[in-house]
Structure 1
């Protein structure tokens, strides 16, 4: 106790009478500095749409470094502020503390190197299909790219939704579409040509989409395979909303036109051309 009293008596009298100077930033309590930083981080991440604006729904304090690391990494790769809400919605794993964002480096290297995509094109592919970042380059992306090139599909680096999802499709699923086309009478070269002209075909289910359309064309529309070879875009139209209604309308009118003329026209032009 005597030691404490002595230390107090060492201070000049003036210091006890005047107001103490404000503490320097370095001498402020650390917990205040941490709380301010935490609030700023929450505000920043919520402004990007990475975390909810409601503080009660914010992730635990210990998870924020991983989230911030993911955001900074993706921004360094060309991801824009406005892209984050979509990335979080479609691929929340990217911002999980259990996931190391650096694991996506091989995908970025693949897009830039093997695919030849620019930073803007890579961004377009990733934003359209964030799952690309979780794909394995060796077992998924590279074999798929090789197979698509063998078929003759080009411009895959363009950042479209279709390209992004096709690149993120396993080779076996792509081959299934080619096998289906060959099973209904297309040669291999012809099937490859269809895939080049209508790459969206890779995203369609054989049993739920392609086969019902083919069977309706053959059995209900009574059309030949040669018409499908001339207009493979037929597979890209909705069976229930476009193909069937227009076919039955033309049949009722006693009119028969090519598949392209039947399907390519807009509703106004089509139904005004063949009025009941």
Structure 2
């Protein structure tokens, strides 16, 4: 079992140099055991679990430390912080043996040049959706992006660092079932497109666990017109049990009704203050 490694004073982990500078200060030892320990220590310094890394990506065992430092230097040059890089590599150890120019740079170029994400937002995009870096541009990212553009994710509604999660989703298994369900409620293709562009999460929510229960509550207990969902598709992003039900029942208890946006978008404090205000207005009208 690997334990916390104790390396000699010449180890890279104690070096104040940046990764790019460390490349020119690599130890010249030929002791393969020491080199391996230095590599694992550097993983630990990045807060990457060496056990997991070697289990998921056994090829990393034969990868030189210089490759890891080059990879680290590349990601830091993009604007990724060292803690964020550590989380990324720990989540996807397969990246430890990736080729920067053949595997990673094409993904960065795709995000910059095709999706149109500004370079300053690349670190946010990667941090929000690490799976981007282990996805294939030709077979996954570009076809999904083309589908999203057809839905209306263009111009001011284009994919941004907050919605890059959509790019790694499956069109057939993730997107289409949601679109088909919304169509089955009577919404036209154009109406569905407008809804998902306004609330992209609709494309990722579970039909069985999210959409159906919320529609049933909306229709059967709230007794509202589905037209409201066209105007406020963000309804589906709120918790049914923690927000939608209690707020609806609080309104019913007092005989009030609010548009969905005013009912759900405000904080609990603002919602309660609104209830008090409405009660006071009612009292004024009846006195």
Q: Verify the 8 A CA contact 2:263 2:271 in the aligned structure 1.
A: yes
Partner of 1:11: none
Matched residues in 1 for 2:201 and 2:135: separation? 20
Q: 1:71 to 1:223 in 2, by over 3 A?
A: same
* 214-223 or 107-116, which deviates more: 107-116
Q: 1:261 to 1:76 in 2, by over 3 A?
A: closer
Q: 1:226 to 1:30 in 2, by over 3 A?
A: closer
What is the 5 A alignment of 1:60-75? 62-65=62-65, 67-75=68-76
1:140 has 2:140 as partner: yes
Q: 1:89 to 1:39 in 2, by over 3 A?
A: closer
Q: 1:215 to 1:123 in 2, by over 3 A?
A: same
Q: Verify the 8 A CA contact 1:141 1:168 in the aligned structure 2.
A: yes
Matched residues in 1 for 2:123 and 2:265: separation? 32
Unaligned runs of at least 5 residues, structure 1: 1-28, 53-58
Q: 1:184 to 1:64 in 2, by over 3 A?
A: same
Q: 1:151 to 1:212 in 2, by over 3 A?
A: same
TM-score by length of 1: 0.74
Partner of 1:13: none
**CA deviation vs aligned residue, 1:213-271 (integer Å, no higher than 9, x gap):** 11110011111111222222211111111001111222222222222222122211222
Q: 1:30 to 1:219 in 2, by over 3 A?
A: closer
Q: Verify the 8 A CA contact 2:29 2:35 in the aligned structure 1.
A: no
Matched residues in 2 for 1:108 and 1:85: separation? 19
Q: Verify the 8 A CA contact 1:140 1:171 in the aligned structure 2.
A: no
What is the 5 A alignment of 1:149-160? 149-154=149-154, 155-160=157-162
Matched residues in 1 for 2:269 and 2:29: separation? 69
* 107-116 or 126-135, which deviates more: 107-116
Say how many residue pairs are matched.
Answer: 239
Following superposition, the deviation at residue 197 of structure 1 comes to: 0.8
Following superposition, the deviation at residue 36 of structure 1 comes to: 7.2
Partner of 1:260: 261
1:110 has 2:110 as partner: yes
Aligned CA RMSD, in angstroms, stands at: 3.0
1:197 has 2:195 as partner: no
Matched residues in 2 for 1:129 and 1:43: separation? 27
From 43, 46, 49, the equivalent of 1:48 is 46
Structure 1 SS opposite 2:115 = coil
Matched residues in 2 for 1:185 and 1:196: separation? 18
Matched residues in 1 for 2:170 and 2:121: separation? 21
1:175 has 2:176 as partner: yes
